[in-house]
Amino acid sequence: MSAVDEVTAPTSLPLVQPQLPRGAQAVTAFIAGCVTALFYVMSLPLAGALILGGLAYLVVLPVWALAIEGRRGATDRMMTGLIWSAFVVAMVPLTSLIWTVVSKGLPAINTTFLTFSFFKTEITQPVGIYHAIIGTLVITLGAAIISVPVGVMAAIYLVEYGKKNRLAKVITFLIDVMTGIPSIVAGLFAFALFTLFAGAGYQSGVGGSVALSLLMVPIVVRATEEMLRLVPDDLREAAYALGTPKWKTIVRIVLPTSIGGIITGITLSIARVIGETAPLLLIAGITTRTNADPFSGAMTSLPVLIFNVNLRADDESATIAWGAALVLIVIVMALNLIARVIGKIYAPKTGN
């Protein structure tokens, strides 16, 4: 064979690249655990020891992969480790929050706590949060009744009719401004509005609903707008080609196609405002009685109750606050589950 043939002859490459052993991740995790235990024994705080153990895992596994799998495999191992680390870091505060609320709030949950109000007819009568639960549900329902039709119709106009005209641009700008307003500003607006028409000192649940609706409308508009834009134009054009009017195309085709995302956006907006305190302190007020009439008298919500009892420096008030916080979290979780079920029921059916 000539020298030219030796140079141009193709070199054989292995079909299978070397791989780390099957238990490489477990071995690396064991090493990271040993590092964590070592630093913890050396009187380092547990959080610091866990961080150093995680760094040891992120270093040892890519270096090991670099020696066996090459640079590409090491890079893949390192990025996978960083992604999982980010996930763990994001889950730690959430898990800690849920565990703290459940562990401190669960002892307060009983029939009396959920069915009695703060209003006492006897000195020895126990107290509960029933009046705050009713107030939260009534005020939030009122805010949803106000904001959902307005938000959905505004989004329909922006997507289906506005088409970037001047009015649509103005509405979009105002929605962007409303998205960033502090909640106390919404409370001041509702307070000023009802003071103007009903006189000074007016407090009611409907005022709280108006204040919360100002915070809900931008979220509903944005969520609905994005969902409507995801509907393919081919569906609209097919309906127009069959002679279907525009309004009927929106009602029968566009909205049912995007109903799942719209309901999700509405649920997120409710979860956003159900924990607001400042606006309701201004316009809804505080009461110890159960009031289910949103148009008459002060109405207490769970966030306002938590704020109010936390002003007292005693163990009983702290227990009530943690129990109310747990009930509020359960209500938000229930709303999310209901929204998922409704969205799944009304989502467009896909054929096989």
Range with the lowest mean pLDDT among 17-21, 211-215, 299-303, 317-321?
17-21
Query: Is the pLDDT confidence value at 352 over 50?
Result: no
Query: Is the pLDDT confidence value at 312 over 80?
Result: no
Global pTM reads 0.80
CA distance 219 to 268: 8
Place of tokens 């969520």: 223
Q: Would you identify the CATH topology of the domain 130-346?
A: MetI-like fold (1.10.3720)
In our burial notation (b when 16+ CB lie closer than 10 A, e otherwise), range 180-217 reads eeebeebbbbbbeebeeeeeeebbbbbbbbbbbbbbbb
Specify the pLDDT at position 348: 64
Q: Are 270 and 293 in contact (CB under 8 A)?
A: no
What residue ranges do the domains of the chain occupy? 19-107, 130-346
DSSP state string for 301-348 = -HHHHHHHHHTS-SHHHHHHHHHHHHHHHHHHHHHHHHHHHHHHHHSP
Query: Is the pLDDT confidence value at 206 over 60?
Result: yes
Query: Is the pLDDT confidence value at 13 over 60?
Result: no
Percent of the chain with pLDDT over 90: 18
Contacts of 133 (CB under 8 A, 6+ apart): 114, 302, 327, 331
CA distance 349 to 96: 39
Give me the sign of the Cα torsion angle 297, 302, 304, 310: positive
In our burial notation (b when 16+ CB lie closer than 10 A, e otherwise), range 112-143 reads ebeebbbeeeeeeeebbbbbbbbbbebbbebb
Exposed/middle/buried for residue 173 (C-beta within 10 Å: 0-12, 13-18, 19+): exposed
Percent of the chain with pLDDT over 70: 93
pLDDT band at 148 (very low <50, low <70, confident <90, very high): very high
Mean pLDDT confidence for 67-76: 85
**Amino acid symbol at 275:** G
Specify the pLDDT at position 112: 87
Range with the lowest mean pLDDT among 24-33, 135-144, 146-155?
24-33
Mean pLDDT confidence for 321-326: 91
Neighbours of 350 (CB within 10 A): 5
Mean pLDDT of the chain: 85
Query: 3-state DSSP: the chain helix, strand, coil percent, rounded to 5?
Result: 75, 0, 25
Q: Are 282 and 191 in contact (CB under 8 A)?
A: yes
Mean pLDDT confidence for 110-131: 83
Query: Is the pLDDT confidence value at 50 over 90?
Result: no
Contacts of 97 (CB under 8 A, 6+ apart): none
CA distance 188 to 13: 73
Mean pLDDT confidence for 252-280: 87
